[in-house]
Structure 1
Amino acid sequence: MFRIGLVVNPYSGIGGAVGLKGSDGEATRQEALAKGAELKANQRVEQALQLLQPHQSSIQWLTASGAMGADVLQRLEFGSETLYQTPQQSEADDTKAAVSALVESGIDLLVFAGGDGTARDVYAVIGDTLPVVGIPAGVKIHSGVYAVSPKAAGRVLELLVSGQLTTVRHADVMDIDENAFRQGNVRARRYGEMLVPGELEYMQAVKMGGRESDELVLTDIADDVIENMEDDALYIMGSGSTVAALMEQMDLPNTLLGVDAIVNQQLIGSDLTAAQLEALCRDYTKRYLVITLIGGQGHIFGRGNQQLSPAVIKAVGRPNIIVVASKTKLKALEGRPLRVDTGDVELDQALTGFIQVTTGYHDQTMVAVTAVD
């Protein structure tokens, strides 16, 4: 069950058809309505989400009330939970508040409809902490966080919920000065980056038939993880050859079929038991866990690494679990999800959803995780 948040800016694009070159601001909206403009953002959302009708058993929708999301989901007969009550006329602050409510509920992915102003509002809340899919509905679409069309957005979502691999990449959040634009001047500004699915990048690599060099790929994965390691933090290094390559890159001895621990890229414990790992977790406030999957099976917990007990996993926390694997290893799963079997039913459920797998240097792939029945 994938928890997907939906936020719609119902006024997005209202100024385009009547030549106002934007929709920002109450005065612009009122002028557009006075000129006969129609609200069409929800129509574009409906075009996108129709592709998900065969997959509704796999999706839990969370949204804002009325025109900010609940209305379109109701028209499509998608069940949803409303987490934010929309005022009679929504503003940018309502977009931010709705996104905040959805993120706090623990969604796996945020879908939003609007233009560059909406993308800025979403970015202000989540930064690059959560994957997003933008449904283009605005006058200005300079940001790279939007799909090329509503149906393209629906296709991306369909790939996600059907369990196919989707690469995650950073895309720019851009906006222009509407007042300057109305005078014929384009003044674009970059506000930051958000994470978006980039499945075409991954599929193109497969179609080209390129084969990964195992040694080079493992080095790239190791370089990415090492570059992002924090000082004075505990890193629990799981078993497997991919993690072993990371340890080798740091010139550290490794227990191939066991679990080691490092701090500041120095080994502090080898072939540790669950009890020893739980004790280490109590000694450090910053804790991370680096794991890989069992090739061909997809298990990341519960097969060959029982030292990673539920207590250890809970102490680390889902956001601090770093999964590493080559795309070749993921491709061998043939679309099957990663699996967890910790022995703790509630923990297994908490671990389900999408997780980013480091597949190279500054390269992540988003993969589904499911609990073993």
Structure 2
Amino acid sequence: MKLGFIVNPIAGMGGRVGLKGTDGKEVLMKAIELGAVPESPNKAKKALEVLKSVKDEIKLFTGPGPMGEDEALELGFNLQVIGEAKENYTSRDTEIIAERMVDEGVDLLLFAGGDGTARNIYNVVGDKIPVIGIPAGVKIHSGVYANHPSSAGKVALKYIQGEDLNLKEMEVMDIDEEAFREGQVTAKLYGYMKVPFEPELVQNQKSGGIAGEEAALDGISDKIIEQMEEDVVYIIGSGTSTRPIMEKLGLTNTLLGVDIIKNKKLLASDANEKEILKHIDGNKAKIIVTIIGGQGYIFGRGNQQISAEVIKRVGKENIIIIASKQKLLSLEGRPLLVDTGDDEVNKMFNGYMKVRTSYTEEAIHKVKGL
């Protein structure tokens, strides 16, 4: 079995610092200036660790240095490096390496990144070979990704061991990052890639809003505002479900970012992790988040600014989840998901949590830390 393994070493760096992606050299430099650190190497390693039990049964092809070689060597894999080592790598390097892996006849391509990386892989791979994505980016709308880094490894393991997994055509989606930073989501379907499909391990494509939610969200926002406590810092997560809260308070809302309020006044707009930590230091705080429709994530997708460290300081008991009944129903019984990158924090969420679904009602829903 020939396995391809590619890591986008800069994927996800824009999340905690509030940049909503790292497409483009200028944005990457800004992320580094703000203190961003690489996220994808550790996530890629979590996927590859699952395959250690079969490392003698596979031939691993990987990119040079931080594009996969470093992680594979650390875990003791025998490998063949494709591409030349260099100081900086670009999206074109991803495409070149993926193309050469196709030429080498790899049976499955495992790659770490976000929607931009999926696009790069799709540009040269198309439907020629099966792929599975390791979620490591800020933007993950595409259906080609597993729901957690270790899940990607589990899918690959099942495929390597010959389990009868259907190859399902899954969407490669991406959005315009510049428009995204201005609060506009312009998603585009670029094509489909074949994914060994395991429903419990592979994520769904993000679904859009459902008609009829407006009245429910109106009631939810009224209840949230009514219950707000004095001198408590409220961290308002991203999304259209939290927007009515800010609108009713007459405050500027960052649709795709995180805002901070106290005593119903705005403390910070589009805050990054450091700003959030600064404002909650020495203060009681609460987090208000919603659910990504169709996928079920409450943390770890599009709101990485609310990091594991922020969650630990705030406390699980001070997290308020809001969503319409329609959005919960769109999950078809699947649990809400948490993927903060910190196993201890993820496990903290295992169990059940309340979800505010209207002015008068709450639902109890299962939550799973990945």
TM-score by length of 2: 0.53
- Structure 1 unaligned residues grouped into runs of 5+: 203-373
Matched, 1:85 2:104: no
Cα separation, partners in 2 of 1:128 and 1:201, compared to 1, 3 Å: farther
Aligned to 1:29: 28
Q: Which amino acid aligns with 2:182?
A: Q
Deviations 1:49-74 (A, max 9, x none): 11111111211100111000100001
For the 8 Å contact 1:68–1:86, the answer to whether it is kept is no
Instruction: Write the letter of the residue equivalent to 1:97.
Output: I
Give the Cα separation in 2 of the matches to 1:50 and 1:70.
Answer: 14
Match of 1:242 in 2: none
Distance 1:189 1:197 in 2: 23
Give CA-to-partner distance per residue, 1:239-292, whole Å, 9 cap, x none.
xxxxxxxxxxxxxxxxxxxxxxxxxxxxxxxxxxxxxxxxxxxxxxxxxxxxxx
How many pairs are equivalent?
201
| Contact 1:73–1:80, Cα closer than 8 Å, also in 2 | yes
Mapped partners of 1:106, 1:164: distance in 2: 20
CA displacement at 1:157 relative to structure 2: 1.1
SS at match of 1:124: helix
Partner residue in 2 for 1:152: 151
Q: CA deviation at 1:200?
A: 3.5
Q: Deviations over 1:322-350 (max 9, x none)?
A: xxxxxxxxxxxxxxxxxxxxxxxxxxxxx
Give the alignment's TM-score, normalised by structure 1.
0.53
| CA distance in 2 between partners of 1:63 and 1:85 (Å) | 11
For 1:71, the equivalent position in structure 2 comes to 70
1:101 aligned partner = 100
Partner Cα distance (1:79, 1:28) in 2: 35
- Taking a change above 3 Å as real, the CA distance of residues 71 and 35 of structure 1, as seen in their structure-2 partners, is same
Q: SS in structure 2 opposite 1:85? A: coil
CA distance in 2, matches of 1:18, 1:199: 33
C-alpha distance in 1 between matches for 2:20 and 2:85: 26
Any unmatched runs of 5+ in structure 2? 202-370
Deviations 1:292-311 (A, max 9, x none): xxxxxxxxxxxxxxxxxxxx
Paired residue type of 2:174:
D
Distance apart, 1:92 and its partner CA: 0.8
Alignment of 1:287-306 (within 5 A): none
Quote the offset at 1:88 in angstroms. Answer: 1.0
Q: Which structure shows the higher helix fraction?
A: 1
Opposite residue 113 of structure 2, the aligned amino acid is G
**Which residue number in structure 2 is paired with residue 175 of structure 1?**
174
What does 1:1-373 align with in structure 2 at a 5 Å threshold?
2-200=1-199
Bigger Rg over Cα: 1
Preserved contact between residue 169 and residue 198 of structure 1 (Cα < 8 Å): yes
- Please tell me whether the aligned partners of residues 8 and 42 of structure 1 are also in contact (alpha carbons under 8 angstroms): yes
Q: 1:154 to 1:20 in 2, by over 3 A?
A: same
TM superposition shift of 1:201: 8.7
What is the one-letter code of the residue matched to 2:47? A
Identity %: 44
Write out per-residue CA displacement over residues 69-119 of structure 1, whole angstroms, 9 at most, x where no aligned residue: 100001111110012114211101111111111111111111111000000
Alpha-carbon distance in 2 for matches of 1:201, 1:34: 38
Q: SS state of the match for residue 93, structure 2?
A: helix
